[in-house]
Each structure stands twice: as C-alpha cells, then as structure tokens.
Amino acid sequence: PTIFAITPTYRRFLQKAELTRTAQTLKHIKNLHWIVVEDSHEKTNLVKRLLNHFGIRYTHLNVRTPVEMRIGRNKPWWTKSRGTEQRNVGLKWIRDNIKANETKGVVYFADDDNTYDIRLFDEMRTINTVGVWPVAFTGAARWAGPICEDGHVVGFHTNWKPFRTFPVDMSAFAVSLKKLLVERPEARFDPDIKPGFLETSFLEQITTMEQLEPKASNCMKVYVWHTRTETPIININGEKQLIKRGKPSNPDVET
C-alpha cells in the first residue's frame, strides 16, 4: 500500500528546519507519496528546492488561507483552525489523480512540526478503514487518544473537551483510500468549524467508534509526538536590530 502524507506548511522563521526534520523522517518510508501544500499564493523556491533535494516522491501544491480565515492581529490564535484549506486541496488532488481500484493505500495528515517514529508508518499499511493511535502532548495531557480493549476502541483518554465524539489530534489517525475515494468521496475539513473540532468533525463524516481500528499495540505505544518548536525570539529580534544598523545577516544564506 502507498502512504499519502498530506502536509500543510507556511512561511515562518522555523519553516525550513521543520520541513527538513519531517523530510528526513519521511525519507525512511517506503512507498510514500508526500503531498506538501503551501499556505501561499505562489509556490516558494525554498519549498521547491527542499522537495527536489530529498528525493522523496512528492506533489507540490499551494493554496492561501482566505483572509477571513487567517489567524490575524486582532483575532486570538484559537479562533481559527490551521491548515484546513491546505488539507482539503491535498485531498482533492488525491481524489482527482488516484483511483482506488488501481492503488491500495492510506492517507495521513502529517503536520510539518510533529515528531514521527518511523514505526508509525508500518502501522498504517494494514488499515482497512480508519486506524487510530495515541498522540503524546495533546489533549492537555501527557498523551491523548483511544482506549482500546481486545482490538476495539472502547473510549478516549483526553483532558480537553472530552465530550467531542472523536477527541483526538490530527496526527492520531489515517484513513484508507477506499474510504476517502469510494465510500466517503464528499468528506472534507470544515473551515468554519470551531477550533478543536476539526478532527472530530472530519471523523464524524467518515466513521464510527465501532469501526475504528486500534493500531500501535492496541493503542499502548506512542509513535507520534505533538511537538511545537519554540520560536527563537532572541534571533528574530536580533536580526531586526542588525537590519536597522544596516548589517543584516547575508540574505544569500537561506535558513
């Protein structure tokens, strides 16, 4: 089976570092097709070069989040979901270009900033419908995710909005191509959904708790961490000082 990994990404101080880390993980995975969707009006040279360099099979797409959906100056960060349009564009590409009767596979929504154990991708290859597993550092706890008994999901562990039908992070599940292309060809991420409900609203369109397939040793192993890299403010501010003094760091050195 082919693993289609859809990764939304956007220009920021740490982008190249995050994408390099993710690319170097994905490079280990056989039969993976990386769909990178930039949150931008144009595809950037930085991402183009990076994708060329690593030799991973990829598709490079872009879509700018509409202005009213962006996390802006006057809007607190938690008023909008991130990466929504980008994941939908990635899904549309798969639906337009891949045929479920020709290709067996799964789709995984791999954000550019998480930490992935490559064993996670082995778990995905046996998914028939929707596979699930725990994710560390989510749900306002050490980990959040499915609680599994005898090969069935019987509930969820989380410390944040536990009343959600599927209280899991984006990185906690992968979905078969058959499910997304044949059984639920309309399923998509809802850009208007309240933040924190993006995952549950998507999963509610495609599955039920009974149908979920527990992975990662009956959901006892953590193979993905919701890491969020600290923004190096000291360097951002330092660079601003240098620019003011007319001594910027050589712009030909790409970071």
Residues that bind Mn ion in the complex, under the rule CB under 5 A: 111, 113
Region binding ligand UGA by CB under 6 A among candidate stretches 111-119, 212-220, 229-237, 242-250: 111-119
Q: Round to whole Å and give the CA distance between 195 and 103.
A: 33
Member of 198, 203, 206, 224 binding ligand UGA (CB under 6 A): 198
* 30 vs 73 by CB, closer to ligand UGA: 73
Residue 183 Cβ vs ligand UGA, minimum distance, rounded to whole Å: 23
Member of 51, 88, 91, 111 binding ligand UGA (CB under 6 A): 111
195 sits near ligand UGA (criterion: CB under 6 A): yes
DSSP string, 62-101: E-PPPGGGS--SSS-GGGS-SSHHHHHHHHHHHHHH--TT
Find where tokens 């798969």 sit.
94
Which residues, including other chains, have CB under 8 Å from residue 111's CB and lie 6 or more apart? 7, 8, 83, 170, 171
Q: Which amino acid is at 29?
A: I
* 65 vs 88 by CB, closer to ligand UGA: 65
Decide which of ligand UGA, Mn ion, none touches 215; Cβ closer than 5 to 8 Å per partner kind: none
Decide which of Mn ion, ligand UGA, none touches 57; Cβ closer than 5 to 8 Å per partner kind: none
Residue 242 Cβ vs ligand UGA, minimum distance, rounded to whole Å: 26
Are 159 and 141 within 8 A, CB to CB? yes
> By CB under 6 A, what part of segment 51-90 binds ligand UGA?
65, 81-83, 86
112 sits near ligand UGA (criterion: CB under 6 A): yes
Find where tokens 């060329």 sit.
52
Token pair of 151, please? 């090969």
Instruction: Name the phi and psi angles at 157, rounded to 5.
Output: -100, 125
Cβ-proximal residue to ligand UGA, closest one: 83
Q: Which helix (H) or strand (E) holds 8?
A: strand 2-9
DSSP string, 144-212: EEEEEETTEEEEEE-SS-TTSSS---GGGEEEEHIIIIII-TT----TTSPTT-HHHHHHHHH--GGG-
* 12 vs 60 by CB, closer to Mn ion: 12
Whether residue 102 lies in the annotated active site: no
Given 38, 85, 123, 199, the catalytic residue: 199
Residue 169 Cβ vs Mn ion, minimum distance, rounded to whole Å: 9
Residues marked as catalytic: 199
Interface positions with ligand UGA (CB under 6 A) = 7-10, 39, 65, 81-83, 86, 111-113, 169-170, 195, 198, 226, 228
